[in-house]
A and B are shown apart, each in its own frame.
Chain A
Amino acid sequence: MEHITLLIGIVIVTALVFDFTNGFHDTANAMATTISTGALRPKTAVAMSAALNLVGAFLSVEVAKTISGGIIDEGAGIRPEVIFAGLVGAIIWNLLTWLAGLPSSSSHALFGGLIGATLVSVGTNGVHGEAVVMKVLIPAVAAPIVAGLASMAATRLTYRLTRNRDEADTAKGYRAGQIASAALVSLAHGTNDAQKTMGVITLALITGGVVAPHADPPMWVIASAGLAIALGTYLGGWRIIRTMGKGITDIQPPQGFAAQTGAAATILASSHLGFALSTTQVCSGSVMGSGLGRKGGVVRWSTAGRMVAAWGLTLPAAGAVAAGAAFLAGQGDWGVAAVAILALGICGAIWAASRRKPIDHTNVNDGPAAEPVGVVTAALRTVSPPPAGQPVRVSDGPEAVDAADTATPAPRAKAATVTR
């Protein structure tokens, strides 16, 4: 590795930082339901996921040849500044959504950042619009539906089959099964997402003429990318884990198993059949599906709605930040320095804001703080039919609220007792 310029050094460090945020943003995908049903203790779960991510990074030799899957035209004058700006946009959006505890796709953030930066510095001909629709928009809509329906069907089936069995007895088996499915998701995540960062670093090295075009990434790139994603995973995005494991719906062991298996099946089927779906959206969708599949299960639509809004915003928001960064970085060396300092400042501010109400492995399984009744929830309550055998009275406002309230805490109280 002869004469790596300062700029390429900065790009490499930034790419590793993105990889790190990618890791802790996506811990929830594999481990949220595992933690919330008590299949694994929080620290054990993130350690296992981190180890599997690291292994996954080394597994595949088929490295992402194009970091963006053809979304941007990598031949059209992409300079290291552009990659740097794209990464900054992706990192800042990842941290913002983490602060809000919203699971959003790290890949979409990366794509959005690269698209925004390319638009500013190369122009519209640097972006393949059709590829954006095919590889980002359609998978984003399809993923939660496919995974959600599969998990819902599986949850229904498993509750039907075990309806006259001892629940505490079957829970042990489901927790064991969940660990296996979660391991598969972690491993697949390591192979996919660590590769993306390796692709970014390799592209930066190629643009700087350090390695030959179309070369495989050097060993130190593979190792550092794997370590960055594993470290991020181990530190754990506890905020997002709480949202996925507790916020969207209350998850019982059978649901956790169905959701996790559905997610693993969707990810493997889609990547194997060449219609890659976003891991984050697959996992969130399957959690929602399992919530809908259990009788008496409640999906908190206000949380789910905020999550879906974040999905929609990811691409444009990361793109906008990256576009600004690309504009500034295009002004020359002082511009790059300014972007770096601004990005560090914003990351520091977000971290400081997160310390005001820290969420970590000790309180990750506490229920979500009493959520204000959202419009959708309120509407659902009013339209849901009263319990059978009860005459409908117009003036029973408080009673109807009582019935709705007592329906929710019951499963949660049970979950609390089985959680270690």
Chain B
Amino acid sequence: MSIDWAALGQVFGVTLVVTVGIVGLFTVGIVGTSRKPQREGEAAVATAPGAGARAGAVAAFAMCAAAVAYGIYLIVAA
């Protein structure tokens, strides 16, 4: 009886990094494209996301799409 701790640890590490990474990236994208909630006394212009935030968001979403494509590749190649 030998448990393959190395493989298990590897799976755990990869899963944690990939999950947090993708969810983090996606959240960056969402933050970049979403409005801030309107606060009283604040100008409406300030709530729209800027061009820089928008570009960052697009890049983040693109990386998520690449991760999904890699996932499909893994399934097909398996």
Contacts and interface: CB of A to CB of B under 8 A. Distances in A.
Interface in A138-174: 138, 142, 146-147, 149-151, 153-155, 157-158, 161-162, 164-166, 169-170, 173-174
Interface in B1-53: 1, 3-4, 7-8, 10-12, 14-16, 18-20, 22-24, 26-31, 33-37
A151 B35 CA distance: 26
A273 B14 contact: yes
B22 A166 contact: no
Contacts of B10: 273, 275
B19 A166 contact: no
Nearest to A173: B30
B63 interface: no
A261 interface: yes
Given A165-B31, A165-B34, A191-B75, A158 B23 contact: yes
Given A134-B3, A142-B8, A62 B27 contact: no
A134 B15 CA distance: 20
Q: Is the interface of A mostly helix, strand, loop or mixed?
A: helix
Contacts of A265: 14-15, 18-19, 22
A270 B15 contact: yes
Most buried by B among A155, A187, A268, A272: A268
Interface in B49-72: 64, 68, 71-72
Given A153-B20, A177-B26, A277-B11, A161 B31 contact: yes
Contact of B72 (A134, A165, A187, A273): A187
A165 B37 contact: yes
Contacts, number: 134
A28 to B, nearest CB: 20
A250 B58 CA distance: 30
A188 B75 contact: yes
A158 B27 contact: yes
Contacts of A157: 20, 23-24, 27
A170 to B, nearest CB: 5
Nearest to A254: B27
B35 to A, nearest CB: 5
A321 interface: no
B37 A170 contact: no
B19 A153 contact: yes
Nearest to A181: B68
A257 interface: yes
A154 B23 contact: yes
A223 B16 CA distance: 36
Nearest to A164: B36
A134 B3 CA distance: 7
A273 B11 contact: yes
A264 B26 CA distance: 15
A404 interface: no
Contacts of B14: 265, 269, 273
Nearest to A271: B78
A138 to B, nearest CB: 6
B52 to A, nearest CB: 17
A60 B33 CA distance: 38
A138 B1 CA distance: 12
A174 B71 CA distance: 19
B26 A257 contact: yes
A332 to B, nearest CB: 39
Interface in A363-394: none
A149 B16 contact: yes
A180 interface: yes
B68 A184 contact: yes
Contacts of B76: 59-60
Contact of A154 (B20, B34, B74): B20
Contacts of B31: 161-162, 165, 170
* 5 A-B pairs closest in CB distance: A154-B23, A150-B19, A173-B30, A265-B18, A169-B34
Interface of B: 1, 3-4, 7-8, 10-12, 14-16, 18-20, 22-24, 26-31, 33-37, 64, 68, 71-72, 74-76, 78
Given A158-B23, A170-B31, A268-B71, 18 more contacts: A133-B1, A138-B3, A146-B12, A150-B15, A150-B20, A162-B34, A164-B36, A166-B34, A169-B34, A170-B34, A173-B26, A173-B29, A257-B23, A261-B23, A262-B19, A264-B71, A269-B15, A272-B78
7 contacts: A59-B76, A154-B19, A180-B68, A258-B19, A261-B23, A261-B26, A273-B10
